[in-house]
Structure 1
Amino acid sequence: PGLCEGFNFDVGHSHVFQGPPKSQFGYRVLQWGGNGDKWLLVGAPWDGNGQGDIYKCGVGLQNSSCAKANLGTERGGCEWGREMDLTHCCVLMSPPKACAPLWSQECGTSMFSSGRCVQLNEEFQLVGTIAPTAQRCSTYMDIILVLDGSNSIYPWEEVQTFLGNILGRFFIGPGQTQVGVLQYGEQLVQEWALGQHPTAQHLLEAARNLTRQEGRETRTAMAIRQACTESFSPAQGGRPGATRLLLVVTDGESHDGDELPAALAECDRRNVTRYAIAVLGHYLRRQQDPEDFIREIKFIASDPDEKYFFNVTDEAALNDIVDALGDRIFSLEGAGLRLGSREGAFELEMSQIGFSTHHLEDGILLGMVGAYDWEGSVLEESQRGRIVPPREAFQEEFPLELKNHAAYLGYSVSSLQLPGGQRLLVAGAPRFQHKGKVVLFQLDPAGTVTVAQALMGEQIGSYFGSEVLALDLEGDGDSDLLLVAAPTYLGDQSRETGRVYVYHVGQDRLSPAGSLHPEPRLQDSRFGSALGAVPNLSQDGLTGAVVGAPLEDEHRGALYVFHVAPGTLLPQCKQ
């Protein structure tokens, strides 16, 4: 009789799906079924010129093909395509969700990669957006320019040039800055309201066409009161939550100066920050002392004067302060970006949420590798609400004196169910002290972290903790093993063979239980780059494991299958 060798996966009759060249089709895959149909969801992060997309591939029919989701186009009102860079889409999870950790929002001259995930239905339509770390831009500003158009302003063309130049310094657009202009002399004219010109091009064209209203009087108090009480109102395009900023440009003392205190009090009640510019041309041309005028304009400006007050010799000199004025305005708004944080430190602006995901019994655990200056963190979205640990939550495991170490906590996430009923969250930090660390912890609704145990890598550069996998071998609901990968672990002759560590789950702690082994060949392998659980692998009700090795066989890649032994996994692969 001949000999035969058993197998779990029939590689001789595989069904191969192919995507567009250079799209990295297969970056992530997810099995998905419903109504008797079976599908394979496939991520292609470089599809569509790097925008990224996912494909839905039918399983079971020999001639079935893959349908593109077209997530890079505007659908369902979620503005996924218009707002986001889908590069590194898609991290996939069930029920169907797709995450793009590099989803970015443009704020002024900065680009913040906070990340975003979306919920899909069976028709691949977007039914919800998960962007818990997306933050309002610091340039979310409503600005009213109050321009003196009285007879004494001369030449008007210089004021137009200044207006065009300062508008060019603002970041105009939805979610950022919008500008309105009010011109005054004896009368008030709202030249245009907030948001009336939604693009920089439209604003600059309006500035070029602005004519002087003229008038014998300069009623500055009336103009300021009108701007603060009416021009920022929703009826005039004002937005709730936008920073309100008033910019007053005038060349003479007001004829209603006794009304200034009341007008400025209205501005203060509405949280309007005021910049004021005194144009001295009229006084210098007549050789008059501008001291009282300067005192009034300083009174109009918010405190301190050195930040909010400007004076120029004449109308032409307005253009000499454009850069300084723009820098001060942007500095004001930038200060609000990290309110309450360490100076110069990032909070969640670069969190890249969704870099890793894990389905909890009542929600989702999301990794945030870029949070807190790339120290990393996690976020739980569950029936308990949205829980974000503060920066100091993991301070004992990641001391502040190791600042800028970029541990990448949240590079991988999972959870363990201990035999006693306690649940522990798991997060990998593969760059911690260059050796890597895995933290097992509890997270309460207030964001307080209680660390139960920390596992340390043993080799520099091994990326220990880049992948983690909890295994319930017998299907009883309790976790039996935790697998921790170190895919760039160096073996003989400095080959990137990779290693997968096995930890046995006890009543309250984990203990080392050896490691899994790839084939003993001298080659680069990166064994452990992907880990997966396979329920009922050998039709015995037990859960086995598969381990990916993408560099094996000269980058062709390999998948290793590991069977269950009593309470653990056999260290040698079965297929």
Structure 2
Amino acid sequence: MNSCINVLRLLLSGPFVFAPAWSYNLDVRHVQNFSFPLAGRHFGYRVLQVGNGVVVGAPSEGNSMGNLYQCQPETGDCLPVTLSNYTSKYLGMTLATDPTSDNLLFAAVQFSTYFKTEFTFLDYIRQKDPDALLAGVKHMRLLTNTFGAINYVAKEVFRQELGARPDATKVLIIITDGEATDEHNIDAAKDIIRYIIGIGKNFKTKESQEALHQFASKPVEEFVKILDTFEKLKDLFTELQKKIYVIEGTSKQDLTSFNMELSSSGISADLSEGHGVVGAVGAKDWAGGFLDLKADLQSSTFVGNEPLTVESRAGYLGYTVTWLPSRGTMSLLATGAPRYQHVGRVLLFQQPKRGGPWSQIQEIDGIQVGSYFGGELCGVDVDRDGETELLLIAAPLYYGEQRGGRVFIYQKIQLEFQMVSELQGETGYPLGRFGAAIAALTDINGDELTDVAVGAPLEEQGAVYIFNGQQGGLSPRPSQRIEGTQMFSGIQWFGRSIHGVKDLGGDGLADVAVGAEGQVIVLSSRPVVDIITSVSFSPAEIPVHEVECSYSTSNQKKEGVNLTVCFQVKSLISTFQGHLVANLTYTLQLDGHRTRSRGLFPGGKHKLIRNTAVTPVKSCFVFWFHFPICIQDLISPINVSLSYSLWEEEGTPRDPRADRDIPPILKPSPHLETKEIPFEKNCGEDKNCEADLKLAFSDIRSKILRLTPSASLSVRLTLRNTAEDAYWVQVTLSFPQGLSFRKVEILKPHSHVPVGCEELPEEAVVHSRALSCNVSSPIFGEDSMVDIQVMFNTLQKGSWGDFIELQANVSCNNEDSSLLEDNSATASIPVMYPINVLTKDQENSTLYISFTPKSPKIHHVKHIYQVRIQPSNYDNMPPLEALVRVPRVHSEGLITHKWSIQMEPPVNCSPRNLESPSDEAESCSFGTEFRCPIDFRQEILVQVNGMVELRGTIKASSMLSLCSSLSISFNSSKHFHLYGRNASMAQVVMKVDLVYEKEMLYLYVLSGIGGLLLLFLIFIALYKVGFFKRNLKEKMEANVDASSEIPGEDAGQPELEKECKDPGCLEPLQKTDEDGSGGD
């Protein structure tokens, strides 16, 4: 209601985010605008709803008379109100100063050897951010020319063209860390109030401190300060601020004492139950107070600060006054003193309602210098019971967090008011003057609680915030923020005054009048409505056959579900007299919280969007949806959500004088309704399913866990439900940490039964792990049975005992506790550890010997074996024995043999006779077994030494075998051969050849004679047949005749002699020719 002096605050601030609720039920598209051409720009400085109209105050800027105007929303006209014998220029003014003027301007100059203006008053007017203006300043060093700097500022900075106001009080603050290095006079600055601050070690002496007096105003004790460090400047600046603010509002004349001559009574006023008070800020040397008017308004009683102290001087008490209605016997009044000690104060007074003296009962002080704390007051009866619960105190010049202005909420607790919270404007407006106007409004949103409007006329072109009442106080966040530019582009100072307690349109809804520069805006309320919805289904439950899977044998026709949605509008404001029509956009969604919906509208859609007009008469709509093939989740119902919002046509004007429906607004609550349609249950007539589950391990006796490197274990569980449907069946299986879950599957009745397992977090306390499996989720049907196979891998680093224990348990959501005895099963599976032993015979073993009558009678033989034992991953390794078997000695045999065992490393072996024949073949039978304990070494050599002796005469040749064998023995009940038993066994088979030799000399003689005789007979036979008589003579003669015809025949004679050298030539051919004999 008041306008306050705007004072610069050099504070940094941070961001703040409002909830996005800027459009509620004050209609910003259909507004009324009032103005009067000759009223001037202060038309709207004050607004007040009276009857069916608005009274507007328009104080004059000059010497002309201010005026009041009566504006009628019904006609849209404003007419001046004629007051006889009243010619004050302040008529219609409730605020003390012009809200557009700033009182303080700043400039900065840095000086050293030379002088530099860092920013001027004009720079500050353009950007009121000293941090930004000083961001690029670099500190000067060298000399300290203080005289020259003061004269420079007086002549070059305090200039009108640089933004300095000629009639403003000039203040110069000089900060120096050294004594002046120049000499001059400062006559140019004699009209400037000068503060000088010396900082640092250069001012420890009395002489150096007195040197500063020549630069300061008188008396120097008040204008010279010495500080040790720059950090102490902060506290000093706070003190200087107070002194500077004292200068504000005073003239250069001597300050004389006034009593009531300049009391400025009437600067504020309030009425309650015919009792009126007016503020008198100028009374008692501007300490202020208020006048308690008598019933005839002709006499009054002054009430002020008691006792009147020096601190209360220039406090402006009475700048604002407001009654705080109470149902008690005392009348309460709050009055503000926004300039008290420059931080502001609010005083609370009380007086008996039947009359009597006033008494001061509470003081509330501000916290920030120059914030004008108490510049606006407002009492709020939230629940409208006649008792004031809240006192709102505005500090429109408060600066912080990039916001200008703040409203503090004080709640009445017992006998005094205590601060409980704050209201703030939007960030980004450090000079917005949030709280310049505050008005308690008639309930505008239908919750039967008082709402509050707060004006911020300098947030851009002005803004008004609406804070709705709530139980115990006000909502900390605005339900609506209305900017002046939302309605008119050229508007200024929107929100400088506010009043909203009347219905000006005759529709039963409160309207709010807001003052701006030269005009008044009337905002109409929109009826706040609630939409009553209902959702129903037919059938009420989803039949089982509608959602059965594809392998079901059901052939029943699937019909789907009919969904009925009904709407009805209801006004939350009981006084509303218009006709309600709400244009809704609504959305129907099936299973919206799921990735895959279990219900589908026609066309395969899971969402429908429709528009409709809703009236107080219920209207209903029917929709149909069906189901996809095979739904697994048949327990949790299908979720059907109905959400809705208002659908408004943009740009549609509404004339309040025309008979049109007023567009309503939905109350700010979740506009959503959710219903669920359940699935039909196979639970009999009582509709209460009771399951009876049984769980057991199958084929567990034949299970042995052999710890091979790739060992695996599979266990089978049989699960039965002998009663009605079971919901959310869960099987829990605990197993040792050495096992790792691999997979799970259903063996029977078929793979369509879903099962899924996941490993639970390790239970370190019991050194086990657990598996949780959902079986046939969510329903395990009546009289159902499944075999579940769970497969595990083994971990090499696992810790094992002699047995592994498996514990299984089954549970569901609907099994009685008395039926849980057979829900658990336990299995114990033996564990066998691997032994990795490899044996083989060496190549240098004796594999063959022979005996003859002439050979040695004794042969020494050896069978050599190699044993390799691989290291084990397990600690519980058993004792090992090497079993060495040697051949059996036959008493009737020609040979005998003796055997001994030699091992490396040496081991004592114990022989044992084998009483019964071994299992081996008779030709390789064993008679003695040596048992040799061995350690877990990587390699062991075993040598079987034998002596084989021929004891008799060999009468016939024969062949026999002598065998030795090596095997590794251990406790086979807990251990096994990793690569099979044969890998730890080896055998050497040695062949013994007995050769029989007879007397052969006579045989050789007879054979030689027989041979010669046979040769002679053959010679005789050949001779008789003429084998030795060839026709060589005839052949030679024929050859001679042939050669005689050729000259040099004798030349061939040597060749014939050579031919006689042929072994086949039995007779010398030359001799035959010499004899001249020829014969046949």
TM-score (norm 2): 0.27
Q: When you count helix as a share of all residues, which structure comes out higher?
A: 1
